[in-house]
Amino acid sequence: MLSEQILKTSKLTKRFGNLIAVDQVDLEIKKEEIIGLIGPNGAGKTTFFNLITGLETPDEGQVIFKGTDITTMSPHAICKLGMSRTFQVAKSFTEMSVEEAIRVGAYNRRGEEEVQTKVDWALEFFELEDIRDYKCSDLGLSSLRKVEVARAAATEPELLLLDEVGAGLTAAELLKLMSELKRLNEETKITLCIVEHVMQMVMGLCERIFVLDAGELIAKGIPSEISNNQRVIEAYLGRRSYSESSSTG
């Protein structure tokens, strides 16, 4: 079991005017882990993702990915290095077909000769073969989500960030997605970091969990520790949280 670090942020901070969106966050992810990043709405999770993928520049702090300082690197260079992500509000390539969209991702590491193989792999892995020729704008929610994940996975990343891919899915769709993600992690050794509100997904998949609230990292640990954590429960007060021992508090 490799315990080598793949991502590390130190004192990562981002301000928008007077609002501190991400506040001195120290976070480490080890290779092949499945990490969860949770927190109430507005906690700064998406901003955090934006910071580490190069879409925003932090005001303070560092991001180290695979030993390289990527704090000010551009998003496409970071992807080349091996990090990819999905978006909370699906940014699909509306006029492209499912296959074409995945192809865009696959070109990250593959040249013209091999790219089709990668596309076929992704279509098969995520069970999208039947809809490969359908326009992205015509897809239903869960297919759209899978295409987002497939597209990002096709870039052959070492770290894949998933931003609320579970939202709005039915129980059955959720289970399917979870098993696919688990398979992805096991077969291709991709490290996963998922931002989620759907606790079932978080607790079911993640080995370790980080909790953000108002930009600050308030807790980290294994799922059972987190669900019993006082501060976490308080942060979520009033929201549904998956916890068997919810009587505490």
Question: Distance between CA 222 and CA 224 in Å, rounded?
Answer: 6
Checking 127-136 for CB contacts under 8 A at 24+ apart, the result is: 127/180, 128/98, 128/102, 131/98, 132/97, 132/98, 132/99, 133/97, 133/98, 133/99, 134/97, 134/98, 135/94, 135/95, 135/96, 135/97, 136/92, 136/93, 136/94, 136/95, 136/96, 136/97, 136/98, 136/101
Q: Is 47 in the site for other proteins (CB under 8 A)?
A: no
Residue with smaller CB distance to other proteins, 1 or 171? 171
Q: Is 159 in the site for other proteins (CB under 8 A)?
A: no
Residue with smaller CB distance to other proteins, 112 or 187? 112
Residue with smaller CB distance to other proteins, 81 or 218? 81
By CB under 8 A, the count of residues binding other proteins is 48
Instruction: Check if the beta carbon of residue 230 is closer than 8 Å to that of residue 216.
Output: no
Exactly one of 30, 80, 182, 208 binds other proteins (CB under 8 A); which one? Answer: 80
In angstroms, what is the minimal distance from the CB of 46 to other proteins? 12
Stretch near other proteins under the rule CB under 8 A, chosen from 21-29, 37-45, 126-134, 230-238 = 126-134
Q: Is 173 in the site for other proteins (CB under 8 A)?
A: yes
Exactly one of 26, 114, 124, 130 binds other proteins (CB under 8 A); which one? Answer: 130
Report the length, in residues, of the chain.
249
Residue with smaller CB distance to other proteins, 25 or 106? 106
